[in-house]
């Protein structure tokens, strides 16, 4: 069998995957597709997506925008399989109309995301950026900050990454409350509070740290705006490693400039890569990391292997377990 696969990353990024200090994830990917001859098509800024995908069998979106126009241009398309969770750049209804399965990989990145969320919590709560700046000026023993122990962690979305964060937060003796679109399906035992998304304000008003773990869609896009941030405690911290669009950018910047809350930790942004002069990078109360939540060698290998296994199923005419539309 031979398969042509569009991978929505640039050639230089592909080289990075092969030299990230651990297992070569592309070799792991191809191991799972043993017996299938794979031809890759990579993202090119100089060519439109519609040309790049015109004869591919599989689209791996990665960071590429897979619109209805792109889907309809891919005459041989058999499946759209994402390396990771996010499908906000994929026109799922357009794929469904053509009976094309859309598949993601929500499990392989959960540990890495839970750990990164905890990193952002610690760095924002302990005001690491401010501390580094003071140290460079010769000032030690400042700023005076707060411990996580005994504080309330509020989770918006209680999927896999949130559950991994909960494990780590419990070790710090934090109180944990959360909301989810489907609270009746949540498998996390013994939360201090669990409610539907209609209790969002309760989470915002009662949490010391609010961490976002929900998908970006029509219901959640811009959900955290200036007014919602103002409902949070003045010494609270907002964490986002889900999708930038869940937070209204202008409202967020205004709230941080006005110091409506103590700070924020972000791993996702409205434009990626960011302009080095973006004003968000100049906010002293916002700790930023460059979308690295899933950038561990362990997570990448798990994700790429699982993605390849899903692709094999699609090519064999099967529907993978994590298909979201068929």
Name the strands in the sheet holding 286-288, side by side, starting at the edge strand that comes first in the sequence. 193-195, 175-179, 152-156, 209-212, 237-240, 263-266, 286-288
Two structure tokens written together for 314: 């699609």
Q: Which of 27, 219, 258, 272 is catalytic?
A: 272
Is 213 tagged catalytic? no
What whole-number distance in Å separates Cα of residue 309 and Cα of residue 256? 43
Q: Which of 160, 213, 243, 312 is catalytic?
A: 243
Give the separation between CA 145 and CA 175, rounded to whole angstroms: 19
Is-contact 20 28, C-beta < 8 A? no
CA distance 79 to 99: 9
| E runs forming strands in 206-301 | 209-212, 237-240, 263-266, 286-288
* Residue 118 vs residues 107, 151, 302: alpha-carbon distances, Å: 18, 13, 21
Active site residue 272: yes
CB-CB contact of 290 with 271 (8 Å): no
Beta bridge partners of 81: 103
Buried b or exposed e, range 174-212, using 16+ CB within 10 angstroms:
bbbbbbbbebeebebeebebbeebebbeebbebbbbbbb
Q: Point out the catalytic residue in the list 127, 168, 213, 291.
A: 291
Which residues are part of the catalytic machinery?
Answer: 243, 272, 291
């Amino acid at each position: 069998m031979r398969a042509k696969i569009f991978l929505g990353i640039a050639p230089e990024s592909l080289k990075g995957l092969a030299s990230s200090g651990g297992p070569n994830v592309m070799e792991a990917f191809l191991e799972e597709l043993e017996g299938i001859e794979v031809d890759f098509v990579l993202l090119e800024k100089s060519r439109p997506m519609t040309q790049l995908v015109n004869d591919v069998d599989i689209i791996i979106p990665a960071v590429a925008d897979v619109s209805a126009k792109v889907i309809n241009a891919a005459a041989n398309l058999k499946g759209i399989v994402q390396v990771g969770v996010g499908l906000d750049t994929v026109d799922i209804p357009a794929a469904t109309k053509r009976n094309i399965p859309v598949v993601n990989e929500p499990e392989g990145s959960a540990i890495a995301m839970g750990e990164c969320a905890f990193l952002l919590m610690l760095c924002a709560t302990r005001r690491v950026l401010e501390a580094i700046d003071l140290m460079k000026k010769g000032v030690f023993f400042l700023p005076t900050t707060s411990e996580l122990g005994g504080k309330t962690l509020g989770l918006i979305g209680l999927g896999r990454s949130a559950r991994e964060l909960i494990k780590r937060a419990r070790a710090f003796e934090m109180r944990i409350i959360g909301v989810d679109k489907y609270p009746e399906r949540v498998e996390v035992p013994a939360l201090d509070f669990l409610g539907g998304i209609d209790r969002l304000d309760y989470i915002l008003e009662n949490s010391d740290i609010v961490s976002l773990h929900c998908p970006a869609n029509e219901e959640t896009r811009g959900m955290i705006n200036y007014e919602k941030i103002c409902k949070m405690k003045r010494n609270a911290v907002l964490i986002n490693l889900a999708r930038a669009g869940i937070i209204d950018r202008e409202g967020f910047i205004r709230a941080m400039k006005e110091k409506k809350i103590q700070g924020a930790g972000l791993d996702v942004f409205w434009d990626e890569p960011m302009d080095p002069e973006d004003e968000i990078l100049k906010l002293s109360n916002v700790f930023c990391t460059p979308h690295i939540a899933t950038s561990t060698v362990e997570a990448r290998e798990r994700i790429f292997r699982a993605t390849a296994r899903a692709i094999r199923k699609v090519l064999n005419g099967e529907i993978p377990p994590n298909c979201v539309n068929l």
